[in-house]
């Protein structure tokens, strides 16, 4: 690592200056970490991760390199990304129908955008591994009883009984098997072949077991997914998650929120993209419709002035979650549109390229988000077909509406 890199990092984290030179897949273990399960059975965890480590990875190095190349084109303004899927995948059988529907939703959206915008559009699913959820509180109340919170199928069960909420390491194997089955269905489906995978790399005991060596490129890569991302709750520049993802050759995503400061973002970018390579880093802005115009410009400027050729995506979902009268978490289509409009306006005004969108969406007629022109969902309809294991998703009609709206934003600015 060059002296230059150390100087740019400001030397603010002294321990890293020597450690930065070499990276090992387990060195995140020495760093501050958030959002990890409290595994009660560490011996079982060791056996499970040992088993995963010696098995075949889920994605190959050549594919990972290919996604990086596609993202490099997006970073240069020659393409667009549509990343979408469940907030939380479940361990229900990955049926051909479900996977086909997800693939069709993604490639359908990508096809519409490619035709209207005249640039290649890369479809990336929140799929085949999106099983772990960061949570804002460690406990929740269900029917007057306090329970450890549900952390995604990778960790525990959503059933509202204490025993179901105990983290179970055997779930890591089930996650691997479900990812593997989902990927296989995706690869065999006509629509799915072009789809790439992504998930939040949250539970590092699991992710560490998928670090593999790519002999052709001479680098480590993460074989659990094409595009791992780090969430807003775990993106501390000196923390475990950023350290872990800094050492794998995959393209990596990082969520950026209204509380992310320009200085913090510069340090994150320095850790994750020290070489300043197009296609390496995808920043996913999830500011909230009311914050995007105020908060995004200084973040875009910070990244730009530090010389990182990132892909900027807009996640108009996670900053806009509210409670419906029924108590369900919802998002309103009009608010989603407002954040998208703000994002596009700012990126264009600053001479940047709005590289794409990140949605929670499903190809079924769920009633989790409110609004929509065709067959819109009213607030009182929300309980009728609410299936999400975590956050509310756009249904197929709402997704089509958002995709059309985004095409309009692109063309208006072109």
Is residue 241 involved in binding ligand PEP (CB under 6 A)? no
Considering only 75, 185, 232, 302, the residue that binds ligand PEP (CB under 6 A) is 232
199 binds, among ligand PEP, Co ion, none (CB under 5 to 8 A by kind): none
Stretch of residues binding ligand PEP (CB under 6 A), selected from 214-222, 227-235, 240-248, 376-384? 227-235
Tell me whether residue 124 or residue 232 sits nearer to ligand PEP (CB atom).
Answer: 232
Residue 394 gets which letter from DSSP?
Answer: B
3-state DSSP assignment of residue 255: strand
Nearer to ligand PEP among residue 231 and residue 274 (C-beta)? 231
**Binding flag, residue 199, ligand PEP (CB under 6 A):** no
In the bound complex, what is the minimum distance in angstroms from residue 199's beta carbon to ligand PEP?
A: 9
DSSP for 176-218, written as a single string: HHHHHHHHHHHHHSTTGGG-EEEEE---HHHHHTTEEEETTTT
Q: Using the rule CB under 6 A, is 134 a contact of ligand PEP?
A: yes
232 binds, among Co ion, ligand PEP, none (CB under 5 to 8 A by kind): ligand PEP
- Helix, strand or coil, per DSSP, at residue 410: helix
Considering CB distances under 5 to 8 angstroms, the limit depending on partner class, which of ligand PEP, Co ion, none binds residue 231? ligand PEP
Residues touching ligand PEP: how many (CB under 6 A)? 10
Counting every residue, how long is the chain?
414
Our finding on whether 356 is near ligand PEP (CB under 6 A) is no
Query: Which residue, among 116, 135, 71, has the nearest Cα to 312 in the 3D structure?
Result: 71
391 binds Co ion (CB under 5 A): yes
When the beta carbons of 230 and 269 are compared against Co ion, the nearer one is 230
255 is a site residue for ligand PEP (CB under 6 A): yes
Contact 147, 139 (CB under 8 A): yes
Give least dist CB 96 to ligand PEP, A: 25
Residue 333 contacts residue 372 (beta carbons within 8 Å)? yes
Q: Give 307's Cβ-side CA count (13 Å radius).
A: 7
Interface with ligand PEP, residue 288, by CB under 6 A: no
**Shortest distance in whole angstroms from residue 13 CB to ligand PEP:** 23
**Nearer residue to ligand PEP within complex by CB, 65 or 133:** 133
Residue 32 in tokens: 């501050």
Which stretch in 18-26, 49-57, 225-233, 392-400 sits in contact with ligand PEP by CB under 6 A? 225-233
Q: What is the full DSSP assignment across 79-141?
A: -EEEEEE-SS--SS---HHHHHHHHHHHHHHHHHHHHHH-S-EEEEEEBSS------S-SEEE
Site string for Co ion, 63-92 (x = CB under 5 A): ------------------------x-----
The residue from 68, 318, 331, 337 that contacts ligand PEP (CB under 6 A) is: 318
- The item of ligand PEP, Co ion, none sharing an interface with residue 134, based on CB under 5 to 8 Å by kind, is ligand PEP
Round to whole Å and give the CA distance between 55 and 175: 14
Q: Which residues, at least 6 apart from 287, have a Cβ–Cβ distance to it below 8 Å?
A: 256, 257, 258, 295, 296, 319, 339, 342, 343
| Largest separation between any pair of C-alpha atoms in the chain | 60
What are the angstrom distances between the C-alpha of 121 and each of 108, 110, 233, 303, 355? 11, 5, 29, 24, 10
Does position 314 interact with ligand PEP (CB under 6 A)? The reply is no
The HSE-up count of residue 114 (CA atoms within 13 Å, CB side) is: 13
Examine residue 16 and tell whether it contacts Co ion (CB under 5 A): no
Question: Is residue 87 part of the contact set for ligand PEP (CB under 6 A)?
Answer: yes
Pick one of 152, 167, 231, 355: the residue that binds ligand PEP (CB under 6 A): 231
Question: With binding defined as CB under 6 A, does residue 73 bind ligand PEP?
Answer: no
Roughly how many angstroms between the first and final C-alpha of the chain, as a whole number?
40
Give the footprint of ligand PEP on this chain (CB under 6 A).
87, 134, 200, 231-233, 255, 286, 318, 391
Give the footprint of Co ion on this chain (CB under 5 A).
87, 391
């Amino acid at each position: 690592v060059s002296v230059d890199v150390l100087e740019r990092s400001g030397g603010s984290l002294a321990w890293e200056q020597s450690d930065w030179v070499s990276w090992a897949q387990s060195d995140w273990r020495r760093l501050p970490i958030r959002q990890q399960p409290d595994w009660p059975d560490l011996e079982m965890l060791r056996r499970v991760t040992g088993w995963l480590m010696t098995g075949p990875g889920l994605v190959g190095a050549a594919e990972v390199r290919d996604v990086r190349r596609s993202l490099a084109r997006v970073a240069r303004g020659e393409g667009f990304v549509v990343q979408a899927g469940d907030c939380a995948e479940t361990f229900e059988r990955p049926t051909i129908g479900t996977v086909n529907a997800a693939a069709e939703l993604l490639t359908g959206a990508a096809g519409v955008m490619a035709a209207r915008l005249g640039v290649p559009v890369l479809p990336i699913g929140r799929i085949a591994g999106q099983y772990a959820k960061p949570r804002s509180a460690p406990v929740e109340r269900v029917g007057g009883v306090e329970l450890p919170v549900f952390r995604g199928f990778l960790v525990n069960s959503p059933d509202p009984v204490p025993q179901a909420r105990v983290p179970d390491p055997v779930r890591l194997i089930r996650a691997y098997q479900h990812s593997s089955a989902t990927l296989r269905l995706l690869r065999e489906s006509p629509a799915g072949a072009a789809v790439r995978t992504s998930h939040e790399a949250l539970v590092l005991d699991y992710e560490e077991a998928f670090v593999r060596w790519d002999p052709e490129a001479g680098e480590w890569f993460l074989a659990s997914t094409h595009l791992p991302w780090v969430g807003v709750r775990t993106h501390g520049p000196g923390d475990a998650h950023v350290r872990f993802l800094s050492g794998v050759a995959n393209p990596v995503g990082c969520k950026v929120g209204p509380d992310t400061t320009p200085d913090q973002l510069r340090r994150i970018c320095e850790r994750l993209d020290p070489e300043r390579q197009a296609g390496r880093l995808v920043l996913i802005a999830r500011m909230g419709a009311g914050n995007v115009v105020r908060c995004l410009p200084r973040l875009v400027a910070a990244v730009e002035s530090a010389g990182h050729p990132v892909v900027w995506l807009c996640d108009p979902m996670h900053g806009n979650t509210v409670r419906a009268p029924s108590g369900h978490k919802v998002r309103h289509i009009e608010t989603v549109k407002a954040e998208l409009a703000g994002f596009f306006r700012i990126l264009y005004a600053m001479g940047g390229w709005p590289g794409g969108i990140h949605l929670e969406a499903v190809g079924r007629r769920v009633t989790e988000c409110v609004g929509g022109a065709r067959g819109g969902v009213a607030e009182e309809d929300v309980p009728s077909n609410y299936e999400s294991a975590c956050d509310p998703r756009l249904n197929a009609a709402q997704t089509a509406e958002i995709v059309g709206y985004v095409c309009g934003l692109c063309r208006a600015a072109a």
